[in-house]
Structure 1
Amino acid sequence: MRIRRLIPAVLWLLMVSLAMFTPGRSLPKLPEFSFGDKLGHFLLFAVLSFLWLRVGTINEKRGINTRILITNLLVFCFIFPILAEYLQQFVPNRTFDYMDIVANLVGGAFGFIVFFILYKANNRLV
């Protein structure tokens, strides 16, 4: 596993965790627009899944390590997004919202799709 792929993934995971578990009154006020919150959830988890899918999934021969890919996919595209939203209900001034879970999961799936498109195109980002 290359450290240059692990560091951005860990830093983004910390940032997502901080954003998800900061008490509601401590969050900065942002301009509100329709679905702004859902867009934020989508983007946070799209980037999170993309970065973690890069960690250890591609070997030296540009092949996919299926075991690591599936593990990262399950943890960062499904388990963590659902668990994070569930745990938000225990954070002061934060709530549990099923539509946030949907936005998290769709974002995670989008990150997965982008990862595979770039992998198939032999892009340097993967």
Structure 2
Amino acid sequence: MPSWLVLDKFQNSRVLPALIWTVLLLIAMLSPGDKFPSTPQIPHKDKIVHFMLFFILNFLWLRIWMNEANSKKKYLKLFTSYLVFGIIIAILVEYLQLYVPNRSFDYFDIAANMLGAAFGIICFYILYKMDSKLV
């Protein structure tokens, strides 16, 4: 079995939240637009939601694999991988919305998704260096 598939007990407890969040994000992003309840009008609410969804997504996935990185080179590779992961998912989900009723493709949503992914990585790194219990 490849070493990246073998998780110790500590990491196993972190997989479930990341998987659940990923599934919920995909359900929310790929559900027809008319299925959501009406909410108060807040300027740029949609972009804020996109940002937060992808912020949390990358943060949760980084929690799983960070203990595997034990050198500066591995840290850089891990963060780069998650940034690419966030960018690919951000674009893919937005593209798939073209085929969902009452949803649309929006470059600004992609930007909010990518910014959320990047800030999730940055926030994780800061908390990790501070030895926070959140990571």
Query: In 2, distance between residues paired with 1:104 and 1:27?
Result: 19
Contact preservation (8 Å) 1:46, 1:111: yes
Question: Which of residues 71, 81, 84 is equivalent to 1:74?
Answer: 84
Cross-structure match for 1:36: 45
CA contact (8 A) 1:9 1:51 kept: yes
Matched, 1:63 2:70: yes
Q: Does structure 1 residue 19 correspond to structure 2 residue 28?
A: yes
TM-score by length of 2: 0.83
More helix by percentage: 2
Give the alignment partner of residue 6 of structure 1, picking from 3, 15, 40. 15
Instruction: Give the share of equivalent positions with the same residue, in percent.
Output: 43
Q: Normalised by the size of structure 1, how large is the TM-score?
A: 0.89
Given candidates 117, 120, 129, the residue that maps to 1:120 is 129
Q: CA deviation at 1:14?
A: 0.8
User: C-alpha separation between the residues in 1 aligned to 2:117 and 2:15?
Assistant: 18
CA RMSD of aligned residues (A): 1.6
Structure 1 outlier segments of 4+, above 6 Å: none
Distance 1:41 1:4 in 2: 26
Deviations 1:5-42 (A, max 9, x none): 11111011011101100001111211121100100001
Q: For residues 105 and 98 of structure 1, what CA distance do their matches in structure 2 show?
A: 11
> Which has the larger Rg?
2
Name the CA distance, whole Å, in 1 between partners of 2:38 and 2:97: 18
Aligned-pair distance for 1:82? 1.0
Measure how far apart 1:69 and its partner are.
4.4
C-alpha distance 110-68 of structure 1, shift in aligned 2 (>3 A): closer
* 1:53–1:73 CA contact under 8 A, matched in 2: no
Q: Shift of the alpha carbon at 1:68?
A: 4.7
Task: Give the structure 2 partner of residue 89 of structure 1.
Answer: 98
